[in-house]
Amino acid sequence: MLIGKTCRLGRRVRTYSVQHLARLFTSSGNMAKSKFEYVRAFETDDTCLRNCYIVVRLDGRNFHKFAAQHKFTKPNDDRALGLMGRSACSVMEELEDITIAYGQSDEFSFVFKRTSTWFKRRASKLMTHVASQFSSSFVFYWKEFFGEQPLLYPPGFDGRVILYPSNRNLRDYLCWRQADCHINNLYNTVFWTLVQKGGLTTAQAEDRLKGTLAADKNEILFAEFDINYNNEAALHRKGTTLIWEKRDETVTKCMKLLNKEEKDVPVTRSRRRVEAYHCDIIGDKFWEEHPDILEDDNC
């Protein structure tokens, strides 16, 4: 005997059996799944290759316009750079398998250790989680760096995932990004010095710098404006490198003694924290001082 259910649609009344309704939401393979679940087969497998470092790089979308509308200081706005670094720290604190991150201008690269199994190493999951955490942190911490200056609209960041199979490949990638930081910052420093102190228009400054090499740009700064580029802030020349480090912290803890008296006792403990460096990562010194960042190439 079938138990019927009545459904009224406008003026028509239709009766469905419980068995008929059940067939819509079951399959012969698994009674707990609906027949519509076959659509999952359309998902592509984007699992990252094992034993490779996973790098997620974020870049600001249309940030020239964003910087102009929010009146960023040229050539470098320390408020914006500080906000980028704070947002990147938030990402690392949320995803502890990130061993190192490097950022400059409107970009940040996050390196997941090669043995990471976060999100089953799915590229789309890793990229979207990093992008969403970074973007939301950028908005959340805006006031901390820009005070009462309003955020006119939310920023956008696009992301990509790159795999590097060896320590040498990963180091070369990070060296490439820091070399890019130096090239761009040297150009921007000279360009805006010519505009702000030299009285040139942006078109004239651009024309003046066409075909110049690094030595030429340094000469313009030193000979015409008495500026030694090497004395510029390391944050601007070297970018920001974030790594995990252990730090000893001493806190006061109330302890009960044998005579039931209470006494404040200093207690020292080690905690992992994200630390920021503005230093050279192209040479060997940084890597020798922080050997725990890279994993064994024979894993």
CA-based R_g, the chain, Å: 28
Sorted by sequence, the CB contacts under 8 Å of residue 173 that are 6+ apart come out as: 55, 109, 162, 164
239 is in an annotated binding site: no
Q: Residues 296, 167: contact at Cβ < 8 Å?
A: no
Q: How far apart are CA 177 and CA 183, in angstroms?
A: 10
Does the annotation flag 70 for ligand binding? Answer: no
Annotated ligand binding at 108? The verdict is: no
Q: Is 60 annotated as a binding residue?
A: yes
Q: What are phi and psi of 125, to 5 degrees?
A: -65, -45
Q: Is 105 annotated as a binding residue?
A: yes
**106 is annotated as contributing to ligand binding:** yes
Q: Is 172 annotated as a binding residue?
A: no
| Separation between Cα atoms, residue 73 and residue 64, nearest integer Å | 12
Query: What's the angle, vertex CA 177, arms to CA 171 and CA 181, rounded to 5?
Result: 140
63 labelled ligand-binding: yes
Give the number of C-alpha atoms closer than 13 A to the C-alpha of residue 56, restricted to the C-beta side: 28
Q: Which residues are annotated as a binding site for GTP?
A: 59-64, 105-106
Q: Which residues are annotated as a binding site for Mg(2+)?
A: 59-60, 106
Q: Which residues are annotated as a binding site?
A: 59-64, 105-106
